[in-house]
Structure 1
C-alpha cells in the first residue's frame, strides 16, 4: 500500500516541555538555564505551546481526503517523532511512502537532516520511500504567496507618496553549515522572483532577507530582516510587507520573532509593518502537496 509522510520541525506541547524540546533541538548539548527561560517566555507569549503540530495534523487530514491515501505526520524534534510515524506506517500496511518535508527550500543542514533521519528509520523498519527535496516553485505555493501579499498590502494605509517594500524572509542558516553548491539561497531567490513576477513588482520594491539567527560567534546568512528595515527606513520607506515564505505554518519564529520583536523595532523607526498570513492548512498548501502526490503516483 502507498502512503504519505509529512515532516515538520515540531514544537513543545506545553511550557513544561520546553527544556526537553530544546534538548532535542540541541542534540543533547547542555542548554543554559537563561536560554531555557527565554524560550519558555516566547512560548508563553504565544499561548503556552507551539501551534505547529496541530496545524500539521490538520494538513495531513485534508491531504488524506484530497489524495485518498493514508497520510502520517512525523516531527524532527518532538512528538510524534518521525521514527514513530514510520513504525506506525509499517504497522498500517504501508510498503512505500512519499516523504514531504514541510520546508519548501532545500539545504543540506535543514531538509538534508530530515532526509538522513528518514533514511535511517525507514531502512531499519523496511519501508521503501521517495523523498521530495524541495518544492519551492510549485504553482499553488507561488500563487498562495502572491495572494497573501496582495491581501496584506490592502491593510496598509493608502498614503500619497508612501513607499512600500516587500521583504521575503526565511530562516537564516550558519554560513559554515552550507556545503559547497548548497542551493538554499538560490532556491529562495527563485521563489521570490516568481512571486514578484506574478505580482508585477519591480526589483527595487522587494528583497530577500533572513530571520531568527541564533548562536553567537557564527556568521549567519544576511541581511537580517532587522538590518534591512533599518536600511529601508534610512532611504525613506515607511511601509513594509513581511512575507515569511520560508515557513509553511505558524510557529514561534513567526508569532514572536516577527510579530513581536521585528514589528516593535520597525515601529521605533517609524516603519509600519504588516505580515502575510502563513499557508498553514489552507488550500494553497493542500493543493501543493496534492500536486506532489499526483506527480509521484504518475
Structure 2
C-alpha cells in the first residue's frame, strides 16, 4: 500500500466572478463591508483587466494541478501526493482544504504557500491557520516557510529578465540603458521593527537574479500598498518611475519577483496603472512574464515539498 501525503497549496485567493467581489472584499476587511465607492473601484479594476472575468482563480487551479502531477511524476514508488487548495480570503478557505484532507483519510501533509518570501504578516498567517486546523483534524503537517533562493527559481526568473532585455535590444536600447525594477507587495513598515525577514529575502532574490542575468542597473521598489493610516514600505513603484524620469532614464523593466501568478497587483497595478504613468512620462516600460504554471516553477515547488516530506517519518496508510 502506498503512503499518501497531502499537500496544502495556499494562496491569497480571488473572487470567482464579479458577483463575488463584495463578499471577498468584506472578508479581507475582517467582516466590514466596503463602501459603495470602494466596491465600485475594485470591480472597475477587475473589469479593466479582462472584461470582468479574472484569470487568477484559473491560474491557481492550474498551479495546484500541475504541482500534483510534478510531485507524483518524480515521487518514486510507495508514495502518492494529493494536493488540496486552501485560500486566505475565498472558498475553499485554508481550513476547508485541511478538512478535505481529513475526510480523505490523510494523516500526514505538507503546507506550501504560492509565495517565495516569508513574512509573519503573510506566509506566517497562512501557516498559523493551517496548523491550527491540522491539529484539530489529527493531521501531522510540516510547512515550507520560504524558497526565495532556490537555484531553479533564480534561474527561471533570470531567463525571464534576460528575455525582456533582449526585446529592448531589438529596438535599439542597450542593456545598460534599461533600469530593472524588482518589486513585491508592500507591507506595513512595522515589520522592520519586528525583525521580519521579508524585505531582506526579497533583496536577496533580486541580487541573485541580477547577478545571474548580468544586470548592473537595477533597484528594488514596492507596490500595491494597502490604504490604511499606518505607513507602508516604500518607495512605491509609481514614485520610482517619476524619479527615474527626472534622472533621464528612458527604459524600464518591471520584475515583480514577489508574485508568482498574474494577480490583480500585476495585471492592473503594473500593466495598467504603472504603464499609463510610464506613457505619460515618456518611459518605455516592459514587464517580465509571471511564473504561473511554468514547469520550472512547478519543479521548485515539488522539490521543496518533497524535501519537507522527506523530513517527516512517512507512515503507510
TM range (shorter): over 0.9
The one of 59, 67, 70 equivalent to 2:82 is 70
Match of residue 109 from structure 2: 97
Displacement, 1:52?
A: 2.0
Distance 2:303 2:175 in 1: 41
Match of residue 169 from structure 1: 183
The one of 18, 33, 52 equivalent to 2:36 is 33
Q: Which runs of 5+ in 1 are unaligned?
A: none
Written as runs of structure 1 = structure 2, the 5 A alignment for 1:243-262 is 243-262=255-274
Whether 1:20 aligns to 2:23 is yes
Whether 1:184 aligns to 2:198 is yes
Question: The residue matched to 2:167 in structure 1 has which SS?
Answer: coil
Match of residue 251 from structure 2: 239
Distance 2:173 2:150 in 1: 35
The one of 275, 285, 289 equivalent to 2:297 is 285
Match of residue 294 from structure 1: 306
Whether 1:206 aligns to 2:218 is yes
Written as runs of structure 1 = structure 2, the 5 A alignment for 1:78-227 is 78-156=90-168, 157-159=171-173, 163-202=177-216, 205-227=217-239
Displacement, 1:174?
A: 1.2
* 8 Å Cα contact 1:248/1:278 also seen in 2: yes
Match of residue 58 from structure 2: 54
Q: RMSD over aligned Cα, in angstroms? A: 1.5
Distance 2:175 2:260 in 1: 33
Q: Which runs of 5+ in 2 are unaligned?
A: 73-80, 311-317
Displacement, 1:297?
A: 3.4
CA offsets 1:61-97 (integer angstroms, 9 cap, x no match): 1221221211111111001111111111111221111
Displacement, 1:161?
A: 9.3
CA offsets 1:145-180 (integer angstroms, 9 cap, x no match): 111111112222224698210000100111135552
Question: The residue matched to 1:136 in structure 2 has which SS?
Answer: coil
Distance 2:153 2:175 in 1: 31
* 8 Å Cα contact 1:106/1:183 also seen in 2: yes
- The count of aligned residue pairs is 296
* 8 Å Cα contact 1:108/1:178 also seen in 2: no
* 8 Å Cα contact 2:143/2:308 also seen in 1: no
Q: Could you state the TM-score of these two structures normalised by the residue count of structure 2?
A: 0.90
Whether 1:266 aligns to 2:272 is no
